[in-house]
Structure 1
Amino acid sequence: MNLLGHGRVEIIERVKEFKEFRELQKIEVKRQLAHEIISIAYGFLSPLKGFMTYNEVDSVVNEMRLPNDILWPIPIVFDLAHKIDVKEGDIIGITYLGKPLAVMEIKEIFTYDKVKIAEKVYKTKDIKHPGVKRTLNYADRFLAGDIWLVNKLRFNIPYSDFWLTPRMHREVFEKKGWKKIVAFQTRNVPHTGHEYLMKYAWFAANENEKVDEPRTGILVNVVIGEKRVGDYIDEAILLTHDALSRYGYISKKVHLLSFTLWDMRYAGPREAVLHAIIRSNLGCTHHVFGRDHAGVGNYYSPYEAHKIFDNIDEKDLLIKPIFLRENYYCPKCGSIENEILCDHKDEKQEFSGSLLRSVILDEVKPTKMVMRPEVYDVLMKTAKEYGFGSPFVTEEYLEKRQKIFELGEERI
């Protein structure tokens, strides 16, 4: 059996005891678990090597740390909805879309108070919060144990152009000669406000570097995961961010685009910490945190994701946060500003996501002060190629969208 993941060949001493995959008892998983299995196996969620035990979940929920005192903010669990007979110590096969994906060695089968997870992690029990809804919809049993991939992934276009494992990220950084790498988290199509944030963060991280030898880079790491009607389609997010460097708005000398398979939990401050850990695993040295990072609705204050880092020691984080405030276009200054940098707050023109969406839906090209014309053109082209005519997620897109990746040809 060709076991992949974690960069290990031997995997575990018991590898010779593994049966052929077709002989294992199997569990078919949905997309969210498949994405998390892949992210664990390749090291995006290091130091995790599998899904959490009861003690690990309890420690993370209550202390925001694993039992070994390593910082970790959100429980990563495998809920078992299937009524199959499994027991601790079993090795099971995991399939996705009917094809082999991974094997798991079951360490523990347990139950946990899902309401407690919601109250501690999301600070609310409100079912309208998407993370709470996901948590309360978990099945009643959880499986804990290490996992290993048994199949290679083949990403479809355009994802194939931007897929990098943590090891591959570090190799690219080294090849580019980057010593400092600023991570920029996004799940949106870029407007000029996003561009400003990236450039400002580059200056912040580039302290003490020679201007003629750029050794600081910007990693735009797109979150590819669960989509809701009205979100931008994944293909548009990737290709419009690529357009920023393709058309010279951010030089390719300092710009790199990739993605992480992760379903946003919208856990605000706790998820901000998780994003920092993931980007640290990619080799980034700095991380941008803007207004309402990883938030949703009014569940968290605008800069709560900034304040959580006040209580985290630098040695626990291994990445330096860069905190940026909300920005806007100031017509009087003729530039992008924020309420600290200029006194023309009453004349500001905000980067309203809802307004921008309505303009795009009407197929009106935004002013270049809001969105670069080439970015808009790529957005509309992508809508026709991948979004069934819309740059936003529709029911048709959810039903018919192309697969992000393919697995081996053999079916179970």
Structure 2
Amino acid sequence: MVAAALLFGTAAAFAPSPQTMARSRLFAAKQEPHGGSLVNLYLEEDAAKEAEIASCESTIEVTERQSCDIELICNGGFSPLTGFMDEESYKSVVESMRLPDGLLFSLPVVMDTDDESIGVGAKILLKQGDLPIATMEVSSKYEPDKPLECKQLYGTASLEHPGTQMVAWERGKYYLGGKLVGLNKPVREFPCESPAEVRERMPDGVDVVAFQCRNPVHRAHYELFTRALDAPNVAEDGVVLVHPTCGPTQPGDIPGNVRYKTYEVLKEETANPRVFWAYLPYSMHMAGPREAIQHMMIRKNFGCTHFIIGRDMAGCKSSIDGEDFYGAYEAQDFALDNGPMLGVDAVPSLNLVYTSEKGYITADEAKEDGLDALKLSGTKFRAMLRAGDEIPEWFAFKSVVEVLRQAA
């Protein structure tokens, strides 16, 4: 037996490597990555990382938004991108929602700076605090047309829109394009798996329905994404991936670390075998229809075949008059039109209401049956939280309410 082991090796010696297993799981998924292959820019060897760091001539300490973009470029969430967009790619995406090769891509991914000294050819170390997370070789430096960018992306150049505020006030004078090399994942208060890691956890060859959110999940949301598995375009063995964005959103939203805690307690409370959870280090733009397409594309890279499009998805209101920037079904219609080009099926969200007689049903059913829907606005809910009032269980899960009370 010993001689045989020496001659032929042990079973462990012939076991597939983690990289091979990851590739096998990737090919077992029903959904191929956007552009055909999943990008992974991370170096694994410490010596290679040290050499890459030593080759840099300057350093930029990145913002939280920039760190989200860097992570999604390096881990393949933004496949097929291998770096920040150069001027040609930026203009193409802004003006036509396409990369220069014609591939659908709805929002530009750019690195901004006010540093006049950085030029084309520079090698920059990108750091999150003291942690080196990537290097960037600058191939393009340009002054963007910010009013046109906002008009095309957000449908307005008004500073009433949080996306235009971000472009105008947060981003620097110049955009930098160039390839990245990944060094270390940014450190966050919530664990963010790569597309390859999420794909490894999904069942083989089944429909995967993605649910995007940026707020705590309440009862209506849970009913919405579990009932999506009964949609006529979803196979019977399908599963749901609840994939909240935990990066920066718009002012007034609940902080990402608090949202993460609500998701964790709900995952434990519901323990639904057909519901998977993962967290996305994504910076929201509140770009409505265009952002719906960006979310679909990202989830395609995470292995999802379907995507739930909610009413007012990624929408926002004027900071002056409170009017919506987008129509209630604008994102849904846009996703239904463009989803086939992505290879992702849109699943329009049901307009669910709660009735004391039948629980959650569609608004149309409630109207047909003459039933009154119980309502609780977000403003009223937050006031009840602050006052310590009892929150009705038809509206919110007790575990989620408890986390929100502790954070208030």
Q: Common fold, TM-score beyond 0.5? A: yes
* Structure 2 counterpart SS, 1:33: helix
SS at match of 1:183: strand
Residue identity matched to 1:26: T
1:61-93 per-residue CA deviation (whole Å, 9 max, x = no partner) reads: 11111111110111111111223x232222221
SS of corresponding position for 1:119:
helix
Report the counterpart of residue 395 of structure 1 in structure 2.
none
Q: How far apart are residue 128 of structure 1 and its match? A: 1.6
Going from structure 1 to structure 2, the CA distance change for 1:9 and 1:292 (only over 3 Å counts) comes to: closer
When residues 81 and 312 of structure 1 are mapped into structure 2, their CA distance, relative to the original with a 3 A threshold, is same
Task: Assess, with a 3 A threshold, how the Cα gap between structure 1 residues 372 and 31 changes in structure 2: closer, same or farther.
Answer: closer
- Matching residue within 196, 218, 242 for 1:191: 218
Counterpart-to-counterpart distance in 2, 1:9 and 1:235: 25
Q: How does 1:110-125 map to 2 (within 5 A)?
A: 110-125=142-157
Displacement of 1:242: 3.0
Amino acid at match of 2:329: Y
Q: Aligned to 2:334, which of 285, 288, 308?
A: 308
Contact 1:180 1:285 in 2 (8 A): yes
Residues 44, 263 of structure 1: alpha-carbon distance in 2 compared, 3 angstrom cutoff: same
**Alpha-carbon displacement from aligned partner over 1:343-380 (angstroms, at most 9, x marks no partner):** 16782223522221111121223111111223323433
Alignment deviations for residues 29-80 of structure 1 (CA, whole Å, 9 cap, x no partner): 2111111111110011111111111111111111111111110111111111
Task: Provide the secondary structure at the position in 1 that maps to 2:212.
Answer: strand
* CA–CA distance in structure 2, aligned partners of residues 207 and 277 of structure 1: 18
3-state SS of 2:209 partner: strand
How far has the Cα of 1:18 moved from its partner?
A: 6.3
Q: Write the deviation string for residues 256-308 of structure 1: whole angstroms up to 9, x where unpaired.
A: 11111111100000000000001111001111111100000100000100111
1:260 equivalent among 280, 283, 290: 280
Counterpart CA distance in 2 for 1:125 and 1:139 is 17
Partners of 2:103 and 2:59 in 1: CA distance? 32
Take 2:101 and 2:55, find their aligned partners in 1: how far apart are those partners? 36
CA contact (8 A) 2:42 2:181 kept: no
Classify the secondary structure of the residue corresponding to 1:273. helix
Residue in structure 1 matched with residue 58 of structure 2 by the alignment? 25
Distance 1:370 1:27, change over 3 A: same
Check if 1:36 corresponds to 2:69.
yes
Report 1:11-410 matches (<5 A): 20-21=53-54, 24-83=57-116, 85-137=117-169, 138-156=171-189, 159-160=190-191, 163-174=192-203, 177=204, 179-204=206-231, 207-209=234-236, 215-226=237-248, 230-248=252-270, 251-297=271-317, 298-312=324-338, 314=340, 316-331=341-356, 333-343=357-367, 347-380=372-405, 383=406, 387=407, 390=408
Could you give the per-residue CA deviations for residues 379-401 of structure 1, whole angstroms, max 9, x where no partner exists?
33xx3xxx4xx1xxxxxxxxxxx
Unaligned runs of 5+ in 1: 210-214, 391-412
Q: What does residue 8 of structure 2 align with?
A: none
Question: Contact 1:328–1:351 at 8 Å: present in 2 too?
Answer: no
- Length, aligned pairs only: 360
User: In structure 2, do the counterparts of structure 1 residues 324 and 8 end up closer, same or farther at CA, with 3 Å as the change threshold?
Assistant: closer
Q: Which amino acid aligns with 2:285?
A: R
Residue identity opposite 1:92 in structure 2: I
Aligned alpha-carbon RMSD (Å): 2.6
Long gaps (5+) in structure 2 = 1-37, 318-323
How many angstroms apart in 2 are the aligned matches of 1:231 and 1:86? 35
**In the superposition, relative to structure 1, how do residues 353 and 10 fare at CA in structure 2: closer, same or farther (>3 Å)?**
closer
Using structure 2 for the length normalisation, give the TM-score: 0.81
How far has the Cα of 1:240 moved from its partner?
Answer: 2.3
- TM (norm. structure 1) is 0.80
Q: Within 1, Cα distance between the matches of 2:177 and 2:229? A: 40
User: Shift of the alpha carbon at 1:193?
Assistant: 0.7
Q: Which amino acid aligns with 1:341?
A: E
**Secondary structure class of the residue paired with 1:284:** coil
Alpha-carbon separation, structure 2, partners of 1:207 and 1:121: 31
Q: Deviations over 1:185-231 (max 9, x none)?
A: 1111122111111111122168553xxxxx32111111111255642
Partners of 1:180 and 1:205 within 8 A in 2: no
Tell me which moved more, 341-350 or 103-112. Answer: 341-350
In the TM superposition, residue 17 of structure 1 has moved relative to its aligned partner by 13
Rounded Cα–Cα distance in structure 2 between residues aligned with 1:202 and 1:362: 37
SS in 2 for 1:322: strand
Q: After superposition, give the CA deviation of every residue in 1:134-162 in whole Å (9 maximum; x if it has no partner).
A: 11232221110111122244554xx23xx
Query: What is the identity, as a one-letter code, of the residue corresponding to 2:288?
Result: G
Q: Deviations over 1:90-112 (max 9, x none)?
A: 22211221332211111111112
Q: Residues 286 and 322 of structure 1 are in contact (CA less than 8 Å); yes or no, is this contact kept in structure 2?
A: yes
